[in-house]
Structure 1
Amino acid sequence: MIQAFALQKLLKIQIRLYLREPITVFFTMFLAPLMLIMMGFVTGNEPQEMFGGRGQLDVYLPTYTALVIGIVGLISVPIETTSRREIGALRRFRATPLKPLTYILSDVLINFVLILMGITLLLVLGLTVYRIRFEGRFLSLAFALCLSSAAFLAIGYVLASVLPNNRVATLVGNLLLYPMMFFSGATVPREMLPEAIQKLSYALPLTHVVSLVKGAWFGEPLGQYWVEIVVLGAILVVCTLISTRAFRWE
């Protein structure tokens, strides 16, 4: 009961801390919706043969969800965690009667909620303003988004565990995120990339997120995406094991 009450209080504290970081809030909540609006002005949503008779916005909407996941996992988690370590906040949390697991659980939950809020805002915009059709099943999409989010949060906590400070976390996070953004299909459809780059992009974790979420969005059987599921599941397990061993409080 005490730990449950502590978790509730920690979640409130975490929310206040994130709201004090307007840049984090902007990139997590508003970057993907703004990109969708921009593409709506530039390209419209006329059906195109390249996309199987779908419009560009029909394709962009599910792929932009991967952008939200990547930003939180590769940017928000490592930067926020290393910043708190630098100012001694993590050490002070550890010195309280709280179990370390309680703090970690609150941090995971709040980052998961950030992803959920960013994706929800994006989907509401796409479905209501641009009348983009959802062709899949809700449970399949929820599974794809939850697995993808968990895998990238695990990557984020590995980075937060091994990187020494906020500046390095910012540099490494951006070096990882931007190539993934442009070559995974999260911002530019992979169908528009050269074939050689398409093949190389399979080495990027975000490529598997884009592929899995698109498949779920368009109603394709998840069994067709067993490779993506296995890859993301393996990332989740391996990175969770690494971060639990390597995580530093100070």
Structure 2
Amino acid sequence: MSAQTIAAGPGSATWRLIKTESRLFVRDKVGPLWGVGFPLIVLVILGSIPLLRETVEGTGGLTYFDLYVPVLILFNLAILATGALPTTLAGYRENGVLRRMRTTPVGPARVLLAQLVANFAVALVAMVLFLAVAWLAFGIDLPQNLFGFAVGWLFTAFALLSIGLLITALASGRGPATAIGTVLFFPMMFFAGLWVPLASLPQTLQTIAHYTPLGAGMRTFQEAYQGEFPSVAPLLILVAYAVGCTAIAVRWFRWE
């Protein structure tokens, strides 16, 4: 790829880089397998358990399985944000890829953009797949407010991917990126209701959950399932995470 070609068509060069990074992302298998395949298998298993069809108090008539569908969508976002995205980019830094690309017309900024697009695309496909399987295979209703659900998902995706960029900025290589991502992943998933539905938690923990990225995301999902548009509070919390983590990541990001 020549500098003249890039200068003449930066958009096309960026698009080629996005396609290349997307192919590498799928070939690496970590994101697709753990972020899509594993939660999809869990979805099928949970959908086969009759006990999970019981109604959960305080959720407006939703069942346990109704709650686990959006939780697994959040699981997908969390895996991509705390695992696939930071380990890939930190690996690029560790192997000197970012340093070498910094001297080319392509530049490392486009590598970041390409990785963000690849992760976002996989997350979008996974979200549609989870909803479709839950609806067609198990008869779980789609969110009553689909537009509100889409807005909540977008805000949550941006917030989570910004956290992935922050991990990338702080980690010197794949090992530290994996360690930081793992430390963040489990408490975030706890407050998303992976092990215990949020409505079953003590009030203090429910309040804390509302201020976590996945807890706020889960709140927008629940409101959309009940036919409401996501309220302002969780959306503002997600925006705060997205803006704050992105600003810190940009400030402290190291190409070498």
Q: TM-score, normalised by structure 2?
A: 0.89
Provide, for residues 189-221 of structure 1, a one-character-per-residue CA deviation record: whole Å limited to 9, x for no partner: 112233443333334221111111221233123
1:240 corresponds to 2:252: no
CA distance in 2, matches of 1:3, 1:215: 41
Which residue in 2 is equivalent to 1:82? Answer: 90
Q: 1:70 aligns with which of 78, 89, 107?
A: 78
Q: 1:92 aligns with which of 91, 100, 109?
A: 100
Provide, for residues 126-146 of structure 1, a one-character-per-residue CA deviation record: whole Å limited to 9, x for no partner: 111111112423221111111
Alignment of 1:38-57 (within 5 A): 38-43=45-50, 46-48=53-55, 50=57, 51-57=59-65
Percent same amino acid among aligned pairs?
27
Provide, for residues 146-182 of structure 1, a one-character-per-residue CA deviation record: whole Å limited to 9, x for no partner: 1110111111101101112211111111111012212
Provide, for residues 13-56 of structure 1, a one-character-per-residue CA deviation record: whole Å limited to 9, x for no partner: 11221122223321111122112112122345534252433322
Alignment of 1:1-250 (within 5 A): 2-43=9-50, 46-48=53-55, 50=57, 51-222=59-230, 225-250=231-256
Task: Give the match's secondary structure for 1:18.
Answer: helix
Task: Give the match's secondary structure for 1:105.
Answer: helix
Distance 1:148 1:171, change over 3 A: same
CA distance in 1, matches of 2:237, 2:80: 19
Residue range with higher mean Cα deviation, 170-179 or 100-109: 100-109
CA distance in 1, matches of 2:105, 2:143: 49
Contact 2:216/2:238 (CA < 8 Å) preserved in 1?
yes
Residue range with higher mean Cα deviation, 211-220 or 197-206: 197-206
Contact 1:36/1:61 (CA < 8 Å) preserved in 2?
yes
Q: TM-score, normalised by structure 1?
A: 0.91
Task: Give the match's secondary structure for 2:255.
Answer: coil
Contact 2:55/2:63 (CA < 8 Å) preserved in 1?
yes
Which letter does structure 2 place at the counterpart of 1:29?
V
For the aligned residues, what is the CA RMSD? Answer: 1.9
Deviation at 1:99, TM superposition (A): 4.0
Contact 2:143/2:149 (CA < 8 Å) preserved in 1?
no
Task: Give the match's secondary structure for 2:164.
Answer: helix
Contact 1:108/1:153 (CA < 8 Å) preserved in 2?
yes
| Structure 1 residue runs without a partner (length 5+) | none
CA distance in 2, matches of 1:16, 1:229: 32
Task: Give the match's secondary structure for 1:188.
Answer: coil
Task: Give the match's secondary structure for 1:52.
Answer: coil
Contact 1:58/1:132 (CA < 8 Å) preserved in 2?
yes
Contact 1:47/1:56 (CA < 8 Å) preserved in 2?
yes
CA distance in 2, matches of 1:171, 1:82: 12
CA distance in 2, matches of 1:142, 1:183: 21
